[in-house]
Structure 1
């Protein structure tokens, strides 16, 4: 409850995480998942869509701008996630945003053209979402949008357009970005992403003795009461697990 009205929630499918955000993401919100390389951003995002289909019967779209769709499918099988199974059922759609850029032919059903502009990119994502009546959307990642569109100087404008469209069509969305230096407060590549998103989740590492431990911090989540503490999480054989009652770093 926030004030006197109840917020409809979308469960993340990530064990332990929803305990930190009053049961799930506010429905229709846009959440930025940020962190350094190797922190688990892609796994977090794909888990959100895959578990949405598997556990909650909610279709989802994954826009992959950093690796080919076939590579993403193969990597996710390490967690026992058969993305192709749900693609056949039209519960998941994967948009290949890599092949055309690097000049590799693609047989994927959803492929972004190599010379697409920002407006066409947004229209295409809108059409794919509508084609399977998606309730969840992942775009991995924001820096790759800027690189792909060759319009880095317009990234703030493009992100504002994107956020407006996502709010209009009502999907609950995760956008990923790089955090260059979280310890110094740099939690996004362009320093604008966190202001546009309605929620911000930071995945990072902390030194504990002679090893690195992963932690999660919810920097912002509108319409939600949440802790500002750092919580441990692991990437297990079945995906990400958050420990809300574990040791707080």
Structure 2
């Protein structure tokens, strides 16, 4: 019997794939966690955008933190033209904010304000199929909980979401807040890291009175990876990881 070879999905983040044997395992769900301002949305959107742009892998971005039009503007600062890829049906952005805050939306894909769990998951499934997406981003898990008005149901929702993602076979990034990574609390609800097959922590460390960004791979199934903290920067062209940089 030949050796089992894991198919890999390129992250689109310079330097990062060197840390995970060439990319994320195909069809995997990765949790990107960290405190506010650590770069989670940028990391997730870069994965989606570069997948569509460089590797011809269409992507769905479900934005629950900011309106689609604001996300486009923010990402344009990196030179990423999301609108062009949307026109080419390589990216679909699902606006999950407008209805919740009571604003009208002119987007093609909009989540209604009062969707239940099943409808929410079904809608995402439909958009993935509509553009034959190979990648999916959901930003963020706490915002799903906020929509539910019942945080105790988040466990059930995440388990259902995980089942559907595995069934779809897309490579997915979910983002969540890490309230206190220094003390080991790396996700808001404590269940996110268990449903994900990979966990990437983005955080800051104080270095000579300056805050420096670092990345730590807490878990990645089917992958040999280091448990060191690697420096990264958010440059004019997005996130860059330095695998041979000074480890904190």
Fold match, TM over 0.5? yes
Q: SS in structure 2 opposite 1:217?
A: strand
Q: Does 1:229 align with 2:228?
A: yes
Q: Does 1:200 align with 2:202?
A: no
What do the CA deviations read for 1:195-242 (whole angstroms, capped 9, x no partner)?
A: 110000000000001100000000000000000000000000000000
Show the counterpart of 2:119.
120
Q: SS in structure 2 opposite 1:187?
A: coil
Deviation at 1:139, TM superposition (A): 0.1
What does 1:148-159 correspond to in 2, within 5 Å? 148-159=147-158
What does 1:19-30 correspond to in 2, within 5 Å? 19-30=18-29
TM-score by length of 1: 0.98
Write the distance in 2 (CA, Å) between the matches of 1:181 and 1:224: 26
Q: SS in structure 2 opposite 1:79?
A: coil
Deviation at 1:149, TM superposition (A): 1.8
What does 1:33-182 correspond to in 2, within 5 Å? 33-182=32-181
Q: SS in structure 2 opposite 1:53?
A: helix
What does 1:177-192 correspond to in 2, within 5 Å? 177-192=176-191
Q: SS in structure 2 opposite 1:120?
A: helix
Show the counterpart of 2:209.
210
TM-score by length of 2: 0.99
Paired residue total: 247
Write the distance in 2 (CA, Å) between the matches of 1:150 and 1:11: 36
Gaps of 5+ in 1: none
Write the distance in 2 (CA, Å) between the matches of 1:231 and 1:8: 24
What do the CA deviations read for 1:111-153 (whole angstroms, capped 9, x no partner)?
A: 0000001110000000000000000000000000000121311
Write the distance in 1 (CA, Å) between the matches of 2:209 and 2:184: 24
Q: Which aligned segments of 4 or more residues in structure 1 are displaced greater than 4 angstroms?
A: none
Gaps of 5+ in 2: none
Write the distance in 2 (CA, Å) between the matches of 1:150 and 1:25: 33
Write the distance in 2 (CA, Å) between the matches of 1:130 and 1:57: 16
Write the distance in 1 (CA, Å) between the matches of 2:235 and 2:91: 23
Deviation at 1:97, TM superposition (A): 0.1
